[in-house]
Amino acid sequence: MNRLHSDPSLLVCPDFSGDPYQASRASLVSPTTTDAQAADLLRAVWITTNNSLCAQWRQQVTEDERLRAEEQRLAEEESERQRLALRLEEEATTADERKKNRIKHIPIPVRRRPDSTDDEVLVSDFALRKIDKGHFVELYYWTNVGLQDAHSNYRTRDDEGMIPTAADDGSTVWVNAAVAKPSSRVIADRDLSPVEFAQAVLRMIAALEDYDWPVQRVQMLARFWGALMLHRYWNSMDRIAQRAIMIYQEEQRRAWHNAIPLPKGAWDISILDEDALLRTFDRVFRDMRHRDLDEQRQPWRRPLPPSFSSFETLSLTV
């Protein structure tokens, strides 16, 4: 159907009885049709055709309005999409900037300076970065010794160099050297004393909350450590049991962290695996037994008197 370019309802029906239409009337005149009847017939045909064109025009106008409304809707949606995309990009940029310069954006409450006798908790930048990335990190950094180590080795960011490191998405980012360097004095979890362990867990839980860890994970770890400290091995006088539960804590927590990004995912670490704990106990027992046997197999040597000369020592050795 051809598109109309003007409203046919504005047209006026011609006078088909006039001279300009004599030829049109003549083609219709017959023994049964007079000239006046031919003019009426032409008028009827014109009116019928015009009515059809008017209906087509109304339909065309309605369709044009629908298309304009659809185009307007699509344009508004595209504008809104671009606005949201720009806002998300700005928010992501702001969040990234806040993450990179976290200290600059920490809100400072309007208050007087706290009592200088309050303990200042300064945790290693390396440990805090591990926490921020959701990775495993030793409890040592939250013990009294670890905090003192961080305080003793503290330097401002401008005093440290920048080194490249891989981000979670595989891209290369530059970070402060202290952030990527673990403490040279770090102690493995299995070698912590019960007192050091108790010092660290509460502080580490607070750090996890400060770095917006999911509440579920924080609660799992809190229940995990609580269950260990209530276990019979923890309160046992047996050194093997005490050693086994510390090794179990370290191995289970490391495995739990490693399993989180895997397809099968992690598990509720607060549910203690008694079988794994018993296997750890047996392994510690065997290791200690083998070490005792190795010490017993060492050849016995009589200590030399301090007055022996080097020559006499060499002679005795030979």
Residues 229 and 177 in one domain: no
Domain assignment present for residue 172? The answer is yes
Q: How far is CA 174 from the centre of its chain?
A: 19
Cα angle 211-217-220, degrees, rounded to a multiple of 5: 130
51 located within any domain: yes
Number of domains present in the structure of the chain: 3
Q: Which domain holds residue 289?
A: 214-297
**Do residues 243 and 191 make contact, with C-beta atoms less than 8 angstroms apart?**
no
307: in domain: no
**112, part of any domain:** no
pLDDT attached to residue 98 = 80
In which residue ranges of the chain is pLDDT below 50? 117-118, 156-159, 302, 304-318
Determine the pLDDT at residue 119. 52
**Amino acid symbol at 98:** R
Residue 271: per-residue pLDDT: 96
Q: Are residues 131 and 185 in the same domain?
A: yes
What pLDDT is attached to residue 169? 57
- Asked if 13 and 84 sit in the same domain, the reply is yes
Judge if pTM exceeds 0.75: no
Q: How distant, in Å, are the alpha carbons of 64, 80, 111, 286 from that of 76?
A: 18, 6, 48, 73
Q: Last residue of some domain: 74, 90, 106? A: 90
Q: Look at residue 180 in the predicted model and tell me its pLDDT.
A: 55
Say what the pLDDT of residue 101 is.
78
251 is written with which tokens? 């191995």
Does one domain contain both 125 and 190? Answer: yes
Q: What pLDDT is attached to residue 313?
A: 37
pLDDT score of 229: 95
Structure tokens at 123: 């945790």
Kindly state whether residue 125 falls inside one of the protein's structural domains.
yes
On whether both 222 and 166 belong to a single domain, the answer is no
pLDDT given for residue 160 in this prediction: 52
Shared domain for 184 and 135, answered yes or no, is yes
3-state class of 282 per DSSP? helix
Q: Does residue 275 lie in a domain region?
A: yes
Q: Last residue of some domain: 73, 90, 107?
A: 90
pLDDT per position as a tens digit, 46-101: 999 999 999 999 999 999 999 999 999 999 999 999 999 999 999 988 888 887 77
For residue 224, tell me if it sits in a domain. Answer: yes
Check residue 54 and give its pLDDT: 94
In three-state secondary structure terms, 175 is strand
Assess if residue 98 is contained within a domain: no
> Which of 196, 224, 256 finishes a domain?
196
182 half-sphere exposure, CB direction, 13 A CA radius:
12
At 193 the three-state DSSP class reads: coil
Same domain, 79 and 131: no
pLDDT at 143: 95
Residue 152 pLDDT: 82
CA-to-CA dists, residue 147 to 116, 122, 180, 200, 215, angstroms = 17, 6, 17, 10, 25
Q: Which helix (H) or strand (E) holds 149?
A: helix 144-152
pLDDT of 157 reads 44
